[in-house]
Amino acid sequence: MPKNNAVNNRKRMENEMKHRLKIWLFTALFALTGCSNRNAPADMPAQGGGERKEQISSEPESEAVKEQGQDMDADEYSPAEAAEALNLYAQNLSICDLSDLSLSYERVSGEYTDYFYTQGLKGITEKLAEKPAGCLCTEVWDFDADGMPELLTFELEETDETYQVKAVMYEYQNGTIAGAADIVILENLLGGNIDSAEIRFLVKDGKYICVDSWQYTFVAADGVSIDLAAFYYDGSHFTEMFQVFETGSDFGGTGKESTELIEQLHAMGYDRSAAAVYDRDVFHLYAADEGVEALLKIRLVNSMQTGETDWTEMPTAFIRQISGETAGQYMLPESNSRKLELFDLSGMTKEQLRIARNEIYARYGWQFETPDLEKYFEARTWYVPSENVDDTILSEAELANLELLQEAEKTAPEAGEQAGTDIQGTTELTAFELGQISQVLCEIDAYGFLCSFYTDVRDVELDQVFYTGAGIRDEAFIKEVRDDYLKAVHAEEFHTDFLALRETDMDALLKKRTGYGLSDMRKPLGWTYLAEQKAYCMEAGDTNYMEAAVIQGLKTEDGMYYIAYENPALAYTDDSALCRVTLRKQGDTYQFVANEKFAE
């Protein structure tokens, strides 16, 4: 291309970027998204057994197991290798999706009226036989906190009387994947006479595997069967934390009697769920509590509930199986845990803010009468309709967020609206400020955050951040651990450059540049971990260094910076190298919030 044409194209691109970057403030995905933090909570106090139907257990001490596991795993393979193998194994599993099935009813004539009963899943065994063998859902994570990932599956099994759901944990050892432990977490899935259900399979704090099952007899009678349970995997077997089984139609007064359950819920961080049991006799595990991630939801809805048939017609009960990343997302993931700021709402439309406001109530099981909200939340795996709560049970942060969202709705743009180029509360960066930002993005402890793309900095690729040492490499320490690394990977010599970083230094850098620590990050670091030295190590002979070419930027009154830049790593692989990075000013430091390819 002739030089003058290249210059003209560059100028035209810069002018376009100035306009598009401003528009983006109203249309970009909101930053700081994602599911629950998977940080393990502090050790819990021991609990005794209950006299009622609850079975309560304390979390077993597993530090020895964890330490042993770390030593063994570090000698054989890295967490990244294990995760890759487990994910590949999970991808090759056939998923049994029940969504297109419906239960069959039988008509039984009574003295005064006819009754309709289902035979449950047993009544459609032939249809189930056409489905793939029983895996309902999979999840790869380090459930026992030993530094190595595991694969959790929920599997459907037929028994003589009914169908049950079993949790199976797989480990990657010695180059093979094998089942390490299993336990039945739900003994009766959609049994006879059940024609309405809300069943959720959850993970709390990346550690506790939970089931919250309410299965109703709706047409033939008025009653519900409640199964509430939680289990902990310690590296070799499952331990039951609690298990509650209740049947009936009136549970008034039973909550306050469930003292052992309430104590255990508090110990596991289910404070708001515990309050629902004690104050309102509602036995649910609510997403209002922090760290709750729903992996799978199975709903059973009958045609009498939806109004498609009346009480004289043969009804139908439809199964809906809901899972996947989108179904588990929150509009504002932290609206239940901290007071939001205006910059958290940047780019959200009026409708998104409305959903986010109602999401605060939905976490507690609010039953929506507005059809669009009802449909939206029923499609979320974490939502269970149960009760309409008042504002007295909301936290101070939730009340503040409701007020903030209500005010923001008043002036937010409608979906599809384009805002003008003059945006109140934002200022275009001067040439001097752009120069400062350019220097920041090229710093040795910062440029690695531009080498991967994310809408929440907790999803950054840590391998890219620390690839060349991120300014925290200590040559004396690297020499000190060289032999330990070779022993861990069963090698006699190095074939390229070797890098070792202290875990504490990596944690400090992440807190400086993101506000989060190493344990908050969601993507595992694919390096070899030396447990005794508390260091991450890897071999590499190249570099990922890049100099971003800053084009344009805006800043808000809240200290948010939106920067458009050219990413040289994309120059030869993508049609466009244009990207945008979102920064937050914290004192004298710029923290990374998001890094995205610029949508054309």
Overall residue count recorded for the chain in this entry: 600
What tokens were used for 534?
Answer: 């508390």
Half-sphere exposure of 346 (CA within 13 A, CB side): 29
Beta-bridge partners for 298:
199, 321
Q: Give the whole-angstrom CA distance, residue 240 versus residue 84.
A: 29
Cβ neighbours around 196 below 10 Å, total: 19
Q: Edge-to-edge strand order for the sheet containing 150-158?
A: 135-141, 150-158, 163-173, 176-186
Q: What is the CATH number assigned to the segment(s) 331-417? A: 1.20.58.1690
Cβ neighbours around 42 below 10 Å, total: 6
Q: What is the DSSP letter of 130?
A: T
What tokens were used for 564?
Answer: 């458009």
Q: Judge whether 381 and 362 are in contact, CB under 8 Å.
A: no
Q: What is the pLDDT of residue 415?
A: 64
Q: Give the whole-angstrom CA distance, residue 341 versus residue 113.
A: 59
Q: Give the whole-angstrom CA distance, residue 461 versus residue 481.
A: 24
Show the CA angle centred on residue 280, arms to residues 274 and 285, nearest 5°. 40
Q: What is the pLDDT of residue 259?
A: 93
Q: Give the whole-angstrom CA distance, residue 356 versus residue 407.
A: 13
Q: Judge whether 492 and 520 are in contact, CB under 8 Å.
A: no
CA dihedral (586, 465, 504, 207) in degrees, to 10, reads 100
Residue pointed to by tokens 């960066």: 429
Q: Judge whether 368 and 349 are in contact, CB under 8 Å.
A: no
Q: Edge-to-edge strand order for the sheet containing 196-204?
A: 55-56, 238-248, 223-233, 208-217, 196-204, 292-302, 317-323, 102-103
The alpha carbon of 586 is separated from its chain's Cα centroid by a whole number of angstroms, namely 27
φ, ψ (nearest 5 deg) of residue 494: -90, 145
Domain regions of the chain by residue span: 3-26+420-597, 55-323, 331-417
Q: Judge whether 296 and 321 are in contact, CB under 8 Å.
A: yes
Q: Does an H or E element contain 257, and which?
A: helix 254-257
C-alpha closest to that of 304 among 377, 195, 389 = 195
Report in angstroms the alpha-carbon separations of 88 from 85, 101, 154, 525: 5, 28, 17, 18
Q: Judge whether 114 and 107 are in contact, CB under 8 Å.
A: yes
Mind spelling out the 3-state secondary structure of 171-227? EEECCEEEEEEEEEEECCCCCCCCCEEEEEEEEECCCEEEEEEEEEECCCCCEEEEE
φ, ψ (nearest 5 deg) of residue 529: -105, 125
Task: Give me the DSSP letters along 141-164.
Answer: E-TT-SSS-EEEEEEEEE-SSSEE
Q: Give the whole-angstrom CA distance, residue 594 versus residue 457.
A: 6
Beta-bridge partners for 554:
428, 562
Q: What is the pLDDT of residue 10?
A: 41
Cβ neighbours around 413 below 10 Å, total: 15
C-alpha closest to that of 530 among 588, 590, 487 = 487
Helical H segments across 412-493, by residue range: 431-442, 462-465, 475-488
Half-sphere exposure of 277 (CA within 13 A, CB side): 26
C-alpha closest to that of 197 among 133, 279, 118 = 118
Report in angstroms the alpha-carbon separations of 85 from 88, 95, 173: 5, 18, 10
Q: What is the pLDDT of residue 234?
A: 95
Show the CA angle centred on residue 596, arms to residues 593 and 600, nearest 5°. 145
Block mean pLDDT (10 aa), the chain, length 600 = 37 45 41 35 37 44 40 60 90 88 83 78 86 86 93 94 95 91 95 92 96 87 89 95 88 87 95 93 93 94 85 86 84 90 78 94 94 94 91 94 93 60 62 86 91 90 92 94 93 91 95 93 90 92 79 87 85 71 91 80
Q: Give the whole-angstrom CA distance, residue 252 versus residue 545.
A: 64
pTM over cut 0.85: no
The alpha carbon of 395 is separated from its chain's Cα centroid by a whole number of angstroms, namely 22
Report in angstroms the alpha-carbon separations of 440 from 329, 343, 523, 590: 32, 21, 24, 8
Q: Give the whole-angstrom CA distance, residue 147 versus residue 70.
A: 6
The alpha carbon of 488 is separated from its chain's Cα centroid by a whole number of angstroms, namely 32
